[in-house]
Structure 1
Amino acid sequence: MNPFGLLLSVYFIRLAVAGNGEINPLITEEKLLWVGGGAGEVHTYRIPLLTFTTRGSLLAFAEGRKTSSGDMEAKFIALRRSTDRGATWSPTSYIVNDGIHTDGSNLGSIVVDEETGALLLIYSLCFYRYHCSPPSTMLIESLDDGLTWSAPRNLSVQLGVKSFIPGPGFGIQKRYPPAKGRLVVCGHGTIVGDGVFCILSDDHGRTWRNGAALKSIPYNQPKQKQDFNPDECQPVELQNGSIAIFVRNQNNYHCHCRMVVRSLDGGETLPVEELKFDQTLVDPVVAAGALQKDGVLYFSNPANSQNRVNMTLRWSLTDGENWNNEVLQIWQGPSGYSSLTSLKGDNPEDKKHIFIIYEKGQKDYCETVSFAKIHLYGGI
């Protein structure tokens, strides 16, 4: 799908949980955050991330690709903030500007440290090593709810020089043992050393080390169709303390579906015994969103085995062992990357909502696709 002209949209989904545990999500509100098309300093917005801060602000991030829609492009990292649960948004600010790099910055994972309130945004630079070197894993931090951000810090000094893009999506802070309080960020590597890799911090992001790895097969060798090639990923912590990582199946190994792998030791390892190919989560090779909230696991992606269309929300009451037969179709047309979030806490209203941001297209790479706003439905 050609991302030119994509719309990044935020939808607010009200979840009604009946006495029997049934969930009936409805879209109740819509906002357009960014519109691509070449106006101003940005040609295309892509790779959306979404999170709540500990103070209850809602932050949306995206790559602002300056002169084309391509991955290997000079970029801004764009940010918008909302302090009223998404009813209104600040103007766009650019918190990172990589200048004229032909292989610029790539989002990335946002991590919220619930103990300190800090926000850590981790991204890559020179990931593809296209006319620049070495690749670097970068971090910027905000201590004031996303209003201001630190200068970039290069984590490659601690992690080693390798091509690594976190996410895209969010990193987690472990809330349950083992390794309670640990920051865990997972992403993928490229060149020939593909696979899913996690980085870990046990001191609130001051220092980082390499953790779990799920390497491609063959590793450090060129890939062919249907080779095992784990790619972009989203980790979530389950209530038993394990980490479920939803993984892009880059070469459609075994199925046109999502891979899910679990870490039982706080992100130290990803044993092959914990790897599953989830046939319910049909997938056209794309990044996807996942979220665990109050014992319910949510998943969002373009639910199609071949094409990036049909953005869909699914949910599971069994930690992903099986998925509810009902789904919510968010958008039937061209759709791409997505990210889910919710506000933690005991407020009854906040327990009723989750939030999604995703790429939504008016035009496909090969054909024009009609676009209409999704109708807004009333709450329950």
Structure 2
Amino acid sequence: METGIRRLAALSFLLYTVYSPCLCISSSKQINPLLYDEQLLWVSGAQGEVNTYRIPLLTFTPKGSLLAFAEARKGTYADTGAKFLAMRRSTDKGATWSPTAFIVDDGSQPDGLNLGSVVVDEEVGSVILIYAICFHQYLCNPSSTMMVESRDDGLSWSTPRNLSVQLGVKNFAPGPGFGIQKHYLPAKGRLVVCGHGTLAGDGVFCILSDDHGRNWYNGAALKSIPYNQKKKALDFNPDECQPVEMMDGSIVINVRNQNSYHCRCRVVVRSRDGGLSLPIDDLYFDYNLVDPAVAAGALMKDGVLFFTNPSNEQHRVNLTLRWSLTNGNSWVQQAVQIWAGPSAYSCITSLNSGSTEDQKYIFVIYEKGHKDYYETVSFAKIHLYGGH
């Protein structure tokens, strides 16, 4: 009888070892990413009504569809000017994509829309896009913070809503990247979108919603020095940023160091109160994340922090994936080069379905070119254990 129990216990352990998805997390130390698949989603070059595609965002919906967004700049590659907000949708995890849909059209504005952050509200099943209009105040005034929302898995979108009524009139450029819905205390369920101001009034600023995007209010601010004054080289000038929630409920924000203050590397700051404040005590410079002043991607998946940027002090080249097993306190020495050539903004996502298969992959969207980084927007599927 005892022998039978032992055999049953041994069999149970074997089945647990083979089939338990939880053991995938323990293999984080064996992460060896491989660029598994890549395809171009958008190609710039004065085709139709679009001159240049830039500022790519990427997210999964609560139902598992993959949504890619970009600015479709109508007449020029410049940040100002009229644009569409472009989207493509995949229901098979990036294997195939829908044709491009233009979900917002700013007409012929001299200073049109600027993306932006995408935030997924898993509690109500919605996808929210936050973007700016008239951010640079080029032949227009004032700047406005705008929102559109989809409640049917990205198939249709609401009429744009002006959040400046709630937030006040200010220059706020969300992201670019994704906003977060907090999964842990404090402020579980809160939507947090962080971005930056104008170059004079720059800094990291967060807007918050505790009612699924119906109402928004201003949260944390980390202001540039000197604030609201013209900047010089090497001034403290935090800019575009990507927030990530850690497993202790704090929000770590990885920030573009616009004027290369202290180093040509990333600034990292943390909020411990759900995005209400960004104390200077929790700010540091990550010397391991060399950066040419650009928007970067960051993602926490199964206890591993991933980061993408053009890893070069001077130029937007060498799009590189790094990962940390210590919440960003240190980085694994190994890194994966996604693209050696011109590359710039990037965004990372993954599907947290709980399945073993979905634990294996992360997905990166980034600006990629041969001569200039804004030639194409590319989608890369990365197998986290494919290099073994």
Give the TM-score normalised by structure 1: 0.92
Write the mapping of 1:112-151 to structure 2, written as runs, cut at 5 A: 112-151=120-159
What residue is the counterpart of 1:302 in the other structure?
Answer: 310
Contact 2:28–2:325, Cα closer than 8 Å, also in 1: no
Aligned-residue sequence identity (percent) comes to 67
The CA deviation at 1:73 is 1.5
Which residue of 287, 293, 300 maps to 1:285?
A: 293
SS at match of 1:255: coil
Q: 3-state SS of the aligned residue for 1:287?
A: coil
Q: 1:353 aligns with which of 345, 358, 361?
A: 361
Q: Given the alignment, which residue of 97, 101, 108 partners 1:93?
A: 101
Q: Distance in 1 between matches of 2:367 and 2:289?
A: 19
Taking a change above 3 Å as real, the CA distance of residues 223 and 344 of structure 1, as seen in their structure-2 partners, is same
Residues of 2 paired with 1:375 and 1:234: CA distance?
A: 20
For the residues of structure 2 that align with 1:41 and 1:349, how far apart are their CA atoms?
Answer: 40
Which residue of the other structure, out of 130, 152, 158, is the alignment partner of 2:160?
A: 152
1:162 matched residue in structure 2: 170
Q: Offset at 1:194? A: 0.9
How far 1:26 moved relative to its partner?
Answer: 0.1
Displacement after TM superposition at 1:221 (Å): 1.0
Instruction: List gaps (5 residues or longer) in structure 1.
Output: 1-15
CA distance 1:125–1:313, change in 2 (3 Å) = same
Contact 2:58 2:69 in 1 (8 A): yes
Residues 76-115 of structure 1: per-residue CA shift (max 9 Å, x gap):
0000000000000000000000011110000000010010
Q: 1:191 to 1:345 in 2, by over 3 A?
A: same
Please tell me whether the aligned partners of residues 103 and 129 of structure 1 are also in contact (alpha carbons under 8 angstroms): yes
How big is the shift at 1:364?
3.5
Deviations for 1:57-90, whole angstroms, at most 9, x for unmatched residues?
0000000000110001110000000000000000
1:150–1:244 Cα change, 3 Å = same
Structure with a larger share of its residues in helix: 2
Given that residues 209 and 215 in structure 2 are in contact (C-alpha distance below 8 angstroms), is that contact kept between their aligned partners in structure 1? Answer: yes
CA distance in 1, matches of 2:99, 2:301: 29
Match of 1:208 among 202, 213, 216: 216
Q: Which amino acid aligns with 2:332?
A: N
Q: Measure, in 2, the Cα distance between the counterparts of 1:227 and 1:376.
A: 37
TM superposition shift of 1:22: 2.2
How far off is 1:361 after superposition? 1.2
Residue deviations 1:92-150 (CA, integer Å, cap 9, x gap): 00000001111000000001001000110000000000001110000000010000000
Q: How far apart are the structure 2 equivalents of 1:357 and 1:152?
A: 25
Q: Which residue of 2 aligns with 1:110?
A: 118
| Structure 1 segments of 4+ aligned residues over 4 angstroms from their partners | 16-20, 373-380
Check if 1:319 corresponds to 2:327: yes
| Counterpart in the other structure of 1:29 | 37
Whether contact under 8 Å (1:49, 1:168) holds in the other structure is yes
Confirm or deny that 1:226 pairs with 2:237. Answer: no
* Structure 2 unmatched ranges of 5 or more: 1-23
Change beyond 3 A, Cα 1:191–1:29? closer
- Shift, 1:375, TM fit: 12
How many residue pairs were aligned? 359
Q: Deviations over 1:30-54 (max 9, x none)?
A: 1110000111110000000000000
The match for 1:76 is: 84
The residue type equivalent to 1:99 in the other structure is: G
- Would you say the 8 A contact 1:309–1:334 is kept in 2? yes
Structure 2 letter corresponding to 1:296: V
CA deviations over 1:297-329 (Å, ceiling 9, x no partner): 000000000000000000000000000000010
Give the AA of the match of 1:166: P
Name the structure 2 match of 1:251: 259
1:64 and 2:84 matched: no
Q: In 2, are the aligned partners of 1:163 and 1:191 still within 8 Å (CA)?
A: no
- Alpha-carbon deviation of 1:190? 0.5
Q: Deviations over 1:204-223 (max 9, x none)?
A: 00000000000000011111
CA distance in structure 2 between the aligned counterparts of 1:376 and 1:135, rounded to whole angstroms: 38
3-state DSSP of counterpart to 1:211: strand
Greater Cα radius of gyration, structure 1 or 2:
2
Query: What TM-score does the superposition give when structure 2 sets the normalisation length?
Result: 0.90
8 Å CA contact 2:56–2:367 kept in 1: the answer is yes
Q: Residues of 1 paired with 2:382 and 2:133: CA distance?
A: 39
RMSD value over aligned CA atoms?
1.9
CA offsets 1:232-260 (integer angstroms, 9 cap, x no match): 00000000100000000000000000001
Question: Residues 20 and 124 of structure 1: is their aligned pair in 2 closer, same or farther, counting only changes over 3 Å?
Answer: closer
3-state secondary structure, aligned to 1:161: coil
